[in-house]
Amino acid sequence: MTMFLANLLLAMVWAALTGVFSLRNMATGFVIAYLVLYAASPVMKPTLYFQRLRRLPVFALYFAWLVIVANVKVARTVLSPGMKLQPGIIAVPLSVEKDSLVVLLANLVTLTPGTLSMEISRDRRTLYVHALDASDPDAVRRDIKITLEQKIQELLS
């Protein structure tokens, strides 16, 4: 977090020095500041910041893609004349343990249409997900575990 703030601060310094406060120039400054910090990392405290930040854009793009695909799917369900719905509540066992990761996962599950996180068991081991298409509960479980849970763990490991 401190590294991120330092990076952001250096980006602002870059914008101030070049005198252009546009989003593009700030982004340029951010990339340059990232490289500068990365070059200086051998003399600083070890941090996971660099690896994480590198994985973030990939994950963001991947997630945006998931959201778009799933939204189109739901839109098709909504607009189809017969509306073949088979909704249901499915228990998904969790392997992430940290509370913050569980929250992140639950939010991502809700944002990918077709699934909605409803409830979590008291021991925080099971997430109850409401799915629009629950005809194959195991497929829904597999989907969440492979497309989201594994990616989150990779992102934050």
Contact between 35 and 11 under an 8 Å Cβ cutoff? The reply is: no
Interaction of residue 137 with another protein, rule CB under 8 A: yes
Interaction of residue 18 with another protein, rule CB under 8 A: no
Which structure tokens are listed for 30?
């951010």
Interaction of residue 28 with another protein, rule CB under 8 A: no
Which of the stretches 36-44, 45-53, 124-132, 146-154 binds another protein when contact is defined by CB under 8 A? 124-132
Contact map string, positions 37 to 76, toward another protein, x by CB under 8 A: ------------------------------xx--x--xx-
Interaction of residue 36 with another protein, rule CB under 8 A: no
CA distances from 57 to 61, 63, 112, 135 (A): 6, 10, 18, 34
Give the nearer residue to another protein in terms of CB position, either 47 or 80: 80
Please tell me the total number of residues recorded for the chain in this structure.
157
87: left (phi over 0), alpha (psi -120 to 50) or beta: beta
Interaction of residue 116 with another protein, rule CB under 8 A: yes
Contact between 132 and 114 under an 8 Å Cβ cutoff? The reply is: yes
Interaction of residue 87 with another protein, rule CB under 8 A: yes
Interaction of residue 16 with another protein, rule CB under 8 A: no
